[in-house]
Amino acid sequence: MMRFNRSISPIQVLSFDLDDTLYNNHPIILNAINAMQTYLQSIPQWAAQNSDYWLVCRRHVSKIQPHLQSDVTQWRKVALEYGLSQLGLAKEEITRHTHLAYQAFSDARSQITVADSVLTLLDNLAKKYTLIAITNGNVDVDKFNLAGVFSRVYLAGPDGEAKPSDALFKRACRDLKIQPNQILHIGDSLDTDVQGANHAGCHSVWLNNQGITYQYQGLADIEISDIHQLKALY
């Protein structure tokens, strides 16, 4: 199914969300969290805590530093440092364990293989459009087979406030010297991707394949159920 809700103006740039748009991110995140937790359980003081200790630390940091929710990498690092600091460890131990626990997460986080058919789709789209990525996640595309696909990759946090803020879209427009309506953003979330693109004045494609109920009531310009339906843009 590919449904056009509004006509769109000529497009120069295709912007892609990454997680759950170009690959299934759910098992990847679970594996990354498990890798981090496995490392943390090797620390006796951490292992002695309740099983929900990590979530308690994460929620605490979110409450006292809500701005970190726009930078998931820094949020995780600060939560790790906070949790370790409550265990009576020396400062150098806190620093070392924070680094190694996050590294365990990050290494597993990048164990991604994008399907060859998706890479072929992107390669064909790149013959007509400039391809960029705008993501709220913290995946490093240079560590797996999306390396070299995008002209630019914009990460929430380092590059601007997370979607649905328009910050990353505006940053892309400035960098690429284009108008917002020359960008077509593709993503799986109505709440972040479609709302963010619409708010920024960009065009939007909703990949409706998650079976999730969203709060945002606005429409994407285009709705698809399979990423390969973007072949219609060739």
**Could you read off the pLDDT of 210-233 as tens digits, one per residue?**
999 999 999 999 999 999 999 999
Domain boundary among 109, 136, 154: 109
Q: Which of the four pLDDT bands, split at 50, 70 and 90, describes residue 147? A: very high
Check: CB of residue 102 under 8 Å from CB of residue 33: no
**What integer pLDDT is reported at residue 6 of this predicted model?**
93
Put the strands of the sheet holding 130-135 in their side by side order. 2-4, 222-224, 203-207, 183-187, 13-16, 130-135, 152-155
Domain that holds residue 133: 2-23+113-233
Residue 75 has pLDDT above 90, yes or no: yes
Q: How many structural domains compose the chain?
A: 2
Q: Which of the four pLDDT bands, split at 50, 70 and 90, describes residue 70? A: confident
User: Hey, how many other C-beta atoms are within 10 angstroms of the C-beta on 233?
Assistant: 16
- Per-residue pLDDT, averaged over 39-53, amounts to 97
Q: Write the CATH number for 133.
A: 3.40.50.1000
Domain boundary among 109, 127, 148: 109
Q: Which of the four pLDDT bands, split at 50, 70 and 90, describes residue 100? A: very high
Using CA atoms, how far apart are residues 31 and 138, in angstroms rounded to an integer?
15
Q: Are 121 and 215 in a shared domain? A: yes
This prediction has a pTM of 0.89
Q: Please say if 221 is a catalytic residue.
A: no
Domain boundary among 76, 109, 142: 109
**What integer pLDDT is reported at residue 221 of this predicted model?**
98
Among the residue ranges 40-44, 64-68, 90-94, the one predicted with the least confidence is: 64-68
Give Cβ neighbours of residue 25 (< 8 Å, ≥ 6 apart): 18, 19, 137
**What integer pLDDT is reported at residue 178 of this predicted model?**
98
Residue with tokens 């986080």, as numbered in its chain? 109
Q: Which of 17, 20, 71, 188 is catalytic?
A: 17
**What integer pLDDT is reported at residue 69 of this predicted model?**
86
Give Cβ neighbours of residue 46 (< 8 Å, ≥ 6 apart): 40, 53, 83, 84, 87
**What integer pLDDT is reported at residue 1 of this predicted model?**
76
